[in-house]
Amino acid sequence: MESVLSVANTEDQFQLATYKKMPIAAERGEGVWIYTSDGDKYLDLYGGHAVAGTGHCHPHVVNALRQQAGELLFYSNLVYSGARARAAEKLVSIAPPALTKAFFCNSGTEANENAMRMARMATGREQIITFSGGFHGRTADSISATFLGKYRALGKPNVPGHLEADFGNIDSVRELAGENVAAIMLEPIQSMGGVRMAQPDFYRSLRALCDERGIVLIYDEVQTGVGRTGEWFFAGSAAGGGVVPDIVTLAKALGSGVPVGACLVNEAIASHIKENDLGTTFGGGMLAMAAVTATLEAIEMDGMLENVRRVEAYLRSRLREVKQVVAVHGLGFLLGIEFSDNAAAVHKRLLERKIITGTSSNPKVLRLLPPLCLTEEHVDQFVLATDVHG
């Protein structure tokens, strides 16, 4: 058994201190549970930053990875691969029908960079409209598209041509949507921004505006994708007014923890992309592809989409009993619980009671991004620990 203190001391000595860490040394995971190096057990309602969609170490994913690791870890896109063919086919098969082609990369920020580049290539224009409160990643173009708190300034000098609109306000978008706008990109539910969602009409109006002015619509579904909302994607969902964008970007839960990102694009976008226009060494590697296929299969086999919808309804009903909760924002298992007071104290108390949750840029909002296999029993445990007056 290794103490948290000794692990933390070594890590702090040799790793750059870029994150404020919880006093936990994660050693093993199973479903919604994280087991620590000193024998403790935590209920994980944060999913390692929304990554553990299938839960920690889902046996179907682990077996697929073991098998693939014994066959071929990696070869680039210069060769065909059964693992890649299966992953691309599976991913496209669960996407809204208009999105017919996948491009694989390694992370969310990279997926967004490639999506913006494709939009510029397809339109011959340069500007990108994104929204206040949105987060799109930390590489140059994505951080320049991120109008949230301190992030954009960290990316200085920013890439030119990024314009900021108000989330949920179509007039603010219309005003900016001039002749040089290539794309409108949004997190359809702003996660880090405090779990903010717009009315279905907003998404419909965005689609109409893009169609009218020849602008590419990009949904950053790095968090909302791969089952988190109780649907495979926010794109095409009833909550989003049935709107299907031209490009959807994915990462996080797509590989159950193996780094992988993707862009799903429609035929119109695909027709503008030629050999060598985009590229990546690691994107589409066999290990990541095996993870994608197994992740999507596991979600299907275990009926996780239905589970998310059922358990979300239960969680919402249970939270009505908690006096300090004033609202529950979001959809499925991307939930922002708004407290009457600062949520940081709740976050701390829950951690003391061995429950991991997340905060957001709204100090009153506690964020939940649990594995899609969370059950009513886990919800009961969370509600009991949350309700100080209960």
Ligand X SMILES: Cc1ncc(COP(=O)(O)O)c(C=O)c1O
136 lines the binding site for ligand X (CB under 6 A)? yes
364 lines the binding site for ligand X (CB under 6 A)? no
* Residues pairing with 164 in the sheet: 130
Which of 24-32, 152-160, 185-193, 206-214 is the region at the interface with ligand X (rule: CB under 6 A)?
185-193
Residue closer to ligand X by CB (options 220, 231) is 220
Per the CB < 8 A criterion, the answer to whether 268 and 108 are in contact is no
Contacts of 63 (CB under 8 A, 6+ apart): 294
The region, left, alpha or beta by phi > 0 then psi within -120 to 50, assigned to residue 241 is left
Per the CB < 8 A criterion, the answer to whether 134 and 223 are in contact is no
- One residue of 135, 151, 233, 333 binding ligand X per CB under 6 A: 135
53 lines the binding site for ligand X (CB under 6 A)? no
Task: Specify the 3-state DSSP secondary structure of 141.
Answer: helix
Do the strands 162-165 and 355-356 form a parallel or antiparallel pair, or are they unpaired?
Answer: unpaired
Q: Is the peptide bond before 157 cis (omega within 30 degrees of 0)?
A: yes
Q: Tell me the C-alpha distance between 370 and 56, whole Å.
A: 10
222 lines the binding site for ligand X (CB under 6 A)? yes
Which of 186-194, 268-276, 283-291, 355-363 is the region at the interface with ligand X (rule: CB under 6 A)?
186-194
Task: Specify the 3-state DSSP secondary structure of 239.
Answer: coil
Minimum CB distance to ligand X, residue 190 (Å): 8
113 lines the binding site for ligand X (CB under 6 A)? no
Per the CB < 8 A criterion, the answer to whether 87 and 258 are in contact is no
Do the strands 33-36 and 26-30 form a parallel or antiparallel pair, or are they unpaired?
Answer: antiparallel
360 lines the binding site for ligand X (CB under 6 A)? no
Minimum CB distance to ligand X, residue 51 (Å): 9
Residue closer to ligand X by CB (options 135, 333) is 135
Residue nearest ligand X (C-beta atom): 108
Residue closer to ligand X by CB (options 155, 379) is 155
220 lines the binding site for ligand X (CB under 6 A)? yes
Lay out the site mask for ligand X across 282-321 (x = CB under 6 A, - = otherwise): ----------------------------------------
Do the strands 261-266 and 247-250 form a parallel or antiparallel pair, or are they unpaired?
Answer: antiparallel
114 lines the binding site for ligand X (CB under 6 A)? no
Q: Binders of ligand X: how many residues, by CB under 6 A?
A: 14
Q: Tell me the C-alpha distance between 325 and 340, whole Å.
A: 6
Q: Which residues bind ligand X (CB under 6 A)?
A: 107-109, 112, 135-137, 187, 191-192, 220, 222-223, 251
